[in-house]
Each structure stands twice: as C-alpha cells, then as structure tokens.
A = this chain, B = another copy of it.
Amino acid sequence: MKPINVGLIGIGTVGGGTWTVLKRNADEIARRAGRPIRITAVADKNVELAKQVTGGEARVTDDAFSLVNDPEIDIIVELIGGYGVAKDVVLQSIANGKHVVTANKALLAVHGTEIFSAAQANGVMVAFEAAVAGGIPVIKALREGLSANRIEWAAGIINGTTNFILSEMRDKGLSFDDVLKEAQRLGYAEADPTFDIEGVDAAHKATLIASIAFGIPVQFDKAYVEGITKLEASDIKYAEQLGYRIKLLGIAKRRENGIELRVHPTLIPAKRLIANVEGAMNAVLVKGDAVGATMYYGKGAGAEPTASAVIADLVDVTRLATADAAHRVPHLAFQPDAMSNLPILPMSEIETGYYLRLRVEDKPGVLADVTRILADQAISIDAMLQREPEEGEGETDIIILTHVCKESAADTAIARIEALSAQKGKVKRIRLEELQ
C-alpha cells in the first residue's frame, strides 16, 4: 500500500530519534499501521546535520514552510519547540489540511485553544502524546483508556531533570547546587536549566493533563508554578524521618467549584509506589471514580523514548487515514495479513535465572559436588546462601541463585543434584528474572 508521507521539522535530539526508530522498526511499524510511514522531507536550520542524519534518504532543506506547503506531505511532525516559528508551522500546516504531530508542550499549553480550534475547523488532527511524559502513553490513557471515569485528580512526576536532582539530593545528602552541577555534567540538566528547575516545563505538562482530565481549556497562565531551587537537604532529611519523600509534582485536582492546577515540591508518603520513582524516570498517577488509582511509568525524555510517542501518534493518524473505521486498530495490534509466525518455544528452550533450594546432609564435599554439577552444565552461580544447621539437625538448606541459562541445562543439573546421596528429596526450583 502507498506509504504515508511525513515531513519532519527539526532534527535535533527527538527528531533524530524519530528518524532512527522509524527506520529501524519500519517493517514492524508498517505491519501495525497498515502501510509504510516514510519521512520524505526534513527541515532544519542545520542543513548539514540533517543531511548527515538522513544520509540522502530524504529531501533536506532549511525552509520549514517548503514542507508545510508541499502537497505530497500528509503529516507534519513539528519538533522545533517554543512559541515562534513552531506556532506558524503548526497553524499553516493545519490550514493546508495536514495532520500535525508535535512534542511541543509549551506551545500547546499556551496556544492550545487556538490550535485545537483550527484543527477542528480544518478536519485534521493535532496529536501530542510526546508532549507529556515522553514515551509513556499517558495522554492516550487519560483521553481514551479512562474515558468511563470522572477523573478526581492526577499527580505526576513529569520532569525527569528535577526528579533526578531530588533523587540525588536524597541519596547522597548533597545540596541542590552541587547536584545541579553533576546533573549538567551527566547531561540530565541543560546548560540553562531554568525551565526545568523552576517548574515551568512540568507546569506546561500539568496544564495539558488538567485539560484532558476535566475537559477545560488550556490555561497555563492560571497554573501555580514553584520549582525546586529553594529545597534544602535538611528538608529532604526531615521528610524522610517522618516517612515521606519530596517530589516535584504536577497536580490537577477537581474540586466542586473549580480545578486546582499547581506544580510544587510535595511531600508524599514513602510507601506509595510513585514515591519510589527515582532518577530521571517519570510517572503519572491518576484517580478515577470507577477505576480507582492507576499509574503510568517510564522514561519521560530522551531521543528514542520521546520518538516512541511521536511515532505512536503517526501510527494513530495513519491507521485512521488507512483502515475502515471498524478496523482502525487491528485486534492483535498487527494487521491480520502481517502476523508473525514465530513459534511459542517449548519450556526446555527458555532462558532464565533460577533459585534452587537444596536440602542436604551437613557434611564435607556436598557443596563441591553441587557446584561441579552446575559447572558441567555451564550454569554460573550468582549468589549462594547456606543456613546454619540447628544443633543436632544434621541437614541444612542451601540456596543457589544462578545466572541466566537454558531450562534444559537447569533440568539436567537438578536431576543430577537430586541423584546425589546427600540431597534429601526434590530440589525446589523457582525461576528468576532481573527485569532490566
């Protein structure tokens, strides 16, 4: 089927990631979308960079509007950022009847009402999953997945830079200034980190979340915004002693007479799952009246995580422009004629780590026998625990954690251990996954 043609405007971090992922997963994405998605033209001020990234596989220009006005282009991806050219690009694309995909939270939080009205009037979509929480599909969850609910509130760790800084301040007992310098060195904070550390970036995202949760117009100017620059290490320590962690939260809460929309450092009970979201990770917790609390967790920034959201929007638009309504999303995600024939593997072929509990006579040489059996099967040991036998017990438990190996190797090793005279009964085997 004829590819859908995309014009990519801005090939910096996220734009580069979008190019890379679309190319690497072209086949997988086409099998899902129903037709290929192809970036046919790229516009960037830095033409040399654009040429280098695209390697001659797309038309490159420094004129964004040559893409916006190109009748061959179906979708414009706007990754310039800010309120200037980006706004003109988005509005002109809409006026030209093109769908728009953007990661520009600042633009939408401030000019969303104008932009969405224009899109509505021109019969095009403005998709912006990448604008909130990077690769986490939280816009989709709120707008579609939770549509049965009266949303009561949403609270999110929606700025990775500040969460990294707060995590480091807590872990290492350092001051804000020291951690900020480290974050800049590691690339977790920008040279001018104002938008992040003063809470402005989080407030842009919270503004969008509030609108989607409650059906109110975007009103960034009404948001309360307080950053983390005045937090002291002592406050983090005192909070910890009282059973709380401090996170920069974006909060949107429904009250009877209005909506609370605010971003500020917030104490939250340490036992909440969201309190344990550390480093540059993001998470959004949403309370609906029917579903209760749900949480969405993942990387909120970075080239490929954000590209993941940009491309999900491209697939959404493509599916609508391609399939009949009833088959917009294939039942099993991939088009029925593009299913995979990868077989389900038999258990002997799977690979995992193992917890093995042995019950052995407490005598010399047993451990040597067991470790030799494991070595014979090329199974390496990750950790071991031997319980002290109680007085006169004569038997004890040995616990072995193995590195990843084939289940067939584990089967053989277990059978051989069970054949040892020192082993009493069966070996208890529980599989182990690092989930990294």
Chain A residues at the B interface, C-beta cutoff of 8 Å: 17, 21-22, 24-25, 28-29, 31-33, 99, 112, 116-117, 119-120, 123-126, 129, 134-137, 140-150, 155, 210-219, 222-224, 231-232, 234-235, 238-239, 241-242, 244, 246, 249, 251, 253-255, 257-262, 264-269, 272-274, 276-277, 285, 288-299, 304-305, 307-312, 314-316, 320-321, 324-334, 336, 338-345, 347, 349-351, 353, 355, 357, 383, 385, 397, 399, 401, 428, 430-436
Contacts and interface: CB of A to CB of B under 8 A. Distances in A.
A350 B262 CA distance: 9
Given A290-B307, A298-B294, A261 B344 contact: yes
Contacts of A235: 355, 357, 428, 430
A214 B116 contact: no
A289 to B, nearest CB: 7
Contacts of A338: 215
B298 A291 contact: yes
A75 to B, nearest CB: 12
A191 B231 CA distance: 53
Contacts of A310: 148
B320 A144 contact: no
Contacts of A328: 320, 328
A244 B433 CA distance: 10
Contacts of A24: 150, 289
A277 B266 contact: no
Contacts of A269: 434-435
B141 A137 contact: yes
B267 A433 contact: yes
Contacts of A339: 215-217
Contact of A430 (B215, B265, B383): B265
Oligomer: number of copies? 2
A288 to B, nearest CB: 6
A238 B399 contact: yes
Nearest to A293: B298
A242 B46 CA distance: 52
A216 B316 CA distance: 21
Contacts of A224: 347, 350
A351 B255 contact: yes
B264 A273 contact: no
Contact of A308 (B140, B291, B430): B291
A205 to B, nearest CB: 14
9 contacts: A25-B290, A123-B326, A125-B331, A210-B344, A215-B338, A223-B344, A257-B342, A276-B276, A291-B305
Contacts of A347: 224, 262
Given A145-B312, A259-B345, A267-B430, 9 more contacts: A123-B324, A210-B344, A219-B344, A253-B350, A266-B431, A269-B434, A273-B277, A290-B308, A320-B328
A205 B124 CA distance: 36
A144 B21 contact: no
A119 to B, nearest CB: 7
A316 B144 contact: yes
A306 to B, nearest CB: 9
Contacts of A285: 435
A238 B22 CA distance: 45
A143 B329 contact: yes
Contacts of A290: 17, 21, 25, 135, 304-305, 307-308, 311
Contacts of A336: 116-117, 120
Nearest to A129: B145
